[in-house]
């Protein structure tokens, strides 16, 4: 058990020290959300996009993070920001999660982990595979402006709004 915990800490640490995506074009995606609608990166051209990866529907941290994005969603939209969550959970799991929390934004099912892998957030721990909790703030022209490698679910949404305010030259929310 101890060696498993050590391995898990090492893998998570590697994600924190992974290469920065800031200034790079965002990787394209083509995934379905909780209601079966397909989403592509190009659908969000001309608007800001927060792409947030999370490990598992219904877990404490993931629920807390989603609820904060939900609660602040009107402010995000007033700043012309779309929010998309991505995990390896199924479309059915996402539908249940989004319905239970009354989420107003899309949650995409990356069942094979292809998009998480491309963004460098996929963790493989023996028989368990999951996306680490990281986010990418993407500009209207498709460039990654901010990468959040260490995310605290309780204040992440507020931090993104503060960073966005600076980038957009507006006062904080």
First to last CA, the chain: 45
* Cβ proximity of 116 and 88 under 8 Å: yes
Helix, coil or strand: residue 82: strand
Catalytic residue among 27, 62, 95, 116: 62
Tokens matching residue 110: 């990356």
Residues β-bridged to residue 106: 84
Helix, coil or strand: residue 25: strand
Asked about 62 being catalytic, the answer comes back as yes
- Give, as one character, the DSSP assignment of residue 19: P
- Catalytically annotated residues: 62
């Amino acid at each position: 058990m101890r060696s498993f915990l050590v391995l898990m800490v090492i893998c998570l640490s590697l994600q924190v020290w992974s290469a920065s995506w800031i200034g790079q074009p965002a990787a394209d995606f083509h995934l379905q959300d909780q209601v079966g609608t397909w989403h592509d990166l190009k659908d969000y051209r001309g608007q800001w996009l927060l792409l947030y990866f999370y490990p598992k529907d219904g877990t404490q941290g993931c629920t807390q993070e989603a609820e904060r994005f939900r609660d602040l969603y009107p402010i995000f939209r007033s700043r012309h920001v779309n929010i998309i969550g991505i995990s390896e959970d199924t479309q059915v799991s996402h539908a249940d999660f989004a319905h239970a929390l009354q989420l107003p934004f899309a949650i995409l099912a990356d069942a094979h982990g292809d998009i998480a892998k491309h963004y460098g957030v996929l963790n493989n721990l023996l028989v368990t595979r999951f996306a680490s909790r990281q986010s990418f703030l993407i500009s209207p022209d498709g460039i990654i402006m901010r990468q959040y490698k260490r995310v605290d679910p309780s204040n992440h949404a507020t931090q993104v709004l503060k960073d966005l305010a600076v980038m957009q030259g507006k006062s904080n929310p």
